[in-house]
């Protein structure tokens, strides 16, 4: 059975809908929604960098997580990795043209988080989890379904 093409939007580009369970944009959203991805992109916007320079710019990131993040960003075309044949081998990371288009968005989210962190933390500390969580709700539903005794 041939695969159907997505409907076309203005300009001939596919019209995707991330609310659809089968929409491929969900893969992109999953990639770009991580904190390490956002911080890595913003760090690279400050200039091309070697691995150790990126690790120093992004406080708290483990070497394993930085490696995984850079590989994912490179695989998806957001970062370019350049190897220089020197001794020792030099490896530099830079934003790709596609990655540069994403930076304003993640920079805005980073700025929003830095501006509103106190409000978000205050809201969280004032939130009371219902006693029993979901189990309490499930018990109430089961009791109502069972009917009067």
Per-residue pLDDT of the chain (149 residues; tens, 9 = 90+): 455 566 665 666 678 898 999 999 999 999 999 999 999 999 999 999 999 999 999 999 999 999 999 999 999 999 999 998 888 888 999 999 999 999 999 999 999 999 999 999 999 888 876 665 566 666 667 766 776 65
Q: Is 96 left (phi over 0), alpha (psi -120 to 50) or beta?
A: beta
Residue 77 has a pLDDT of 97
Structural domains for the chain = 15-115 (1.10.10.10)
**41 neighbors 69 (Cβ within 8 angstroms):** no
How far apart are alpha carbons 100 and 32 in whole angstroms?
13
Kindly calculate the radius of gyration of the chain based on its CA atoms and give it in whole angstroms.
23
Choose among 13, 8, 60: nearest CA to 39: 60
Residue 5 has a pLDDT of 60
- Reduced to 3 states (helix: H, G, I; strand: E, B; else coil), residue 49 is strand
DSSP annotation of 21 reads T
DSSP annotation of 84 reads E
How far apart are alpha carbons 62 and 49 in whole angstroms?
17
Query: Residue 41, Cβ neighbours under 10 Å: how many?
Result: 23
Residue 128 has a pLDDT of 73
Tell me the H-state helices in 5-148.
25-32, 35-45, 51-57, 63-75, 97-126, 133-146
Distances (CA, A) of 65 to 27, 33, 40, 105: 19, 15, 11, 22
């Amino acid at each position: 059975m041939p695969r159907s093409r997505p409907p076309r939007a203005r300009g001939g580009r596919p019209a995707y809908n991330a609310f659809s369970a089968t929409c491929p944009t969900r893969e992109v959203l999953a990639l770009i929604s991580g904190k390490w991805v956002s911080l890595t992109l913003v760090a690279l916007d400050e200039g091309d960098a070697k691995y150790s320079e990126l690790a120093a710019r992004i406080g708290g990131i483990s070497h394993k997580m930085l490696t995984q993040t850079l590989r994912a960003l490179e695989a998806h075309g957001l970062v370019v990795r350049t190897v220089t044949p020197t001794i020792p081998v030099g490896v530099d990371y830079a934003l790709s043209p596609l990655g540069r288009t994403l930076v304003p968005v993640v920079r805005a989210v980073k700025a929003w988080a830095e501006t509103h962190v106190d409000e978000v933390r205050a809201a969280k500390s004032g939130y009371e989890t219902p006693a029993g969580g979901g189990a309490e709700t499930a018990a109430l539903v089961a009791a109502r379904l069972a009917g009067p005794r």
